[in-house]
């Protein structure tokens, strides 16, 4: 059994569900078990180990392979995340890795433990072979909370850490992603006037007002967004994901609210998007109160593929042109802090978060070899 596969089996068997997706006190919640496993494995192979506290009971783990401090001229980060999503029931069977027909099945196999395994295996293979860069510090960062609020990558950004390249682990089908969309969640609220259901004409129906807003967003606004272009990304999108309003059938509803997901392109800002939606609805006589529900900005990301280390990594991966992705990830947070970032890893995002999540073992091995070649090419 190769090193990456062995690591992946062990990682999948360690539940690390983001606490946001499980009841309080659930024993499968949190990344601690995975962080401790990564630290012990890294120490065994001579890597420097550091825990970076993020929130109580949750810490990023840093594994370091570097020349003497005085010789360091550049820094490269390998940055996968340790947490997984949950599910409606999250049965324990999801944490029993199974191999079948060249695939490994289990929660997190694709997102993101395949990346954890490939990146750690590449770093260990380099260390085990006696490789030690002469001028480059290599830092493996096992990050917490990517699936919820990205608190792990935000802690790294807030620490002031500087690097010349971050390779953020996500399932990209072994493609190097240099741009991805941002993610903005908004709550839109309408108000009306309550009245008895037998005399609805005496009230003002907040749900009816919201129905017009939903219609406008999903038709006219969506059509306008489809006209916008980016060289690497599909157009921005809007999705009405949840709605709630009213009390009971015989009362005219005085309040209604929806939450929407707006995917943004590089160059768009959260504030500008909020102003745009407000103006768009007012122009169609569909006013509302709009609130940004994200505690932290989830900005789009775009990295210049001509940067030397980005170009070098793309060449190592056998890729000639930059590519984009529709999803949001930790690369945005690190990029916003000034670290040039790309996204790379084995697996397909289509398999992420599914009950039968799996990853191709051939892709896992190819990712490990690509990363190892890149690490060995660093001065």
Measured distance between the N- and C-terminal CA atoms of the chain, rounded to whole angstroms: 31
CA distances from 85 to 109, 230, 264 (A): 11, 30, 23
Which is more confidently placed, 352 or 302? Answer: 302
Encoded tokens for 332: 């945005």
Nearest to 180 by CA among 351, 343, 305: 343
pLDDT, tens digit, for every residue of 285-328?
Answer: 999 999 999 889 999 999 999 999 999 999 999 999 999 999 99
Residue 12 has a pLDDT of 96
State what percent of residues in the chain have pLDDT above 90: 88
Cα separation, 30 vs 122, whole angstroms: 25
pTM over 0.85: yes
| Residue-range domains of the chain with CATH | 3-180+300-377 (3.40.630.10), 182-292 (3.30.70.360)
Q: State CA 53 to chain mean position distance.
A: 20
With 70 as the cut, is the pLDDT of residue 1 above it?
Answer: no
Residue 299 has a pLDDT of 95
Whether 53 contacts 59, CB under 8 Å? yes
Encoded tokens for 367: 């990712």
Give the Cβ contact number of residue 13 at 10 Å: 15
Residue 354 has a pLDDT of 86
Whether 142 contacts 81, CB under 8 Å? yes
Residue 202 has a pLDDT of 96
Encoded tokens for 376: 């060995």
Nearest to 286 by CA among 235, 348, 347, 215: 215
Placement of tokens 């096992």 in the chain? 142
* Over residues 143-155, mean pLDDT: 97
């Amino acid at each position: 059994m190769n090193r990456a596969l062995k690591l992946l089996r062990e990682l999948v068997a360690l539940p690390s569900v983001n606490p946001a997706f499980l009841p309080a006190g659930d024993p499968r919640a949190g990344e601690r078990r995975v962080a401790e496993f990564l630290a012990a494995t890294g120490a065994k192979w001579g890597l420097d180990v550091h825990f970076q506290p993020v929130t109580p009971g949750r810490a990023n783990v840093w594994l370091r392979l570097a020349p003497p401090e005085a010789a360091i001229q550049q820094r490269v980060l390998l940055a996968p995340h340790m947490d997984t999503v949950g599910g409606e029931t999250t049965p324990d069977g999801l944490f029993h890795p199974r191999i079948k027909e060249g695939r490994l099945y289990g929660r997190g196999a694709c997102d993101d433990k395949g990346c954890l395994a490939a990146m750690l295996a590449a770093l260990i293979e380099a260390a085990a072979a006696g490789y030690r860069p002469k001028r480059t510090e290599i830092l493996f960062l096992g990050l917490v909370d990517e699936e919820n609020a990205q608190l792990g990558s935000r802690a790294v950004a807030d620490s002031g850490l500087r690097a010349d390249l971050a390779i953020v682990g996500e399932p990209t089908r072994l493609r190097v992603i240099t741009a991805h969309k941002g993610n903005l969640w908004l709550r839109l609220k309408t108000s009306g006037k309550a009245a008895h259901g037998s005399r609805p004409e005496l009230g003002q129906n907040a749900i009816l007002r919201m129905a017009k807003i939903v219609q406008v967003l999903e038709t006219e606004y969506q059509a306008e967004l489809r006209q916008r272009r980016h060289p690497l990304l599909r157009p921005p999108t809007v999705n009405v994901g949840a709605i709630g309003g009213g009390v009971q059938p015989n009362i005219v509803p005085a309040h209604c609210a929806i939450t929407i997901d707006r995917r943004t392109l590089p160059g768009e800002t959260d504030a500008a998007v909020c102003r745009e939606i407000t103006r768009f609805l007012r122009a169609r006589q569909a006013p509302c109160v709009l609130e940004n529900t994200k505690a932290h900005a989830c900005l789009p990301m775009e990295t210049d593929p001509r940067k030397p280390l980005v170009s070098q990594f793309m060449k190592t991966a056998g890729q000639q042109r930059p590519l984009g992705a529709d999803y949001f990830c930790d690369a945005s947070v690190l990029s916003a802090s000034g670290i040039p970032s790309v996204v790379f890893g084995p697996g397909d995002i289509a398999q992420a978060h599914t009950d039968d999540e799996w990853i191709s073992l051939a892709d896992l091995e190819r990712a490990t070899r690509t990363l190892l070649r890149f690490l060995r090419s660093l001065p």
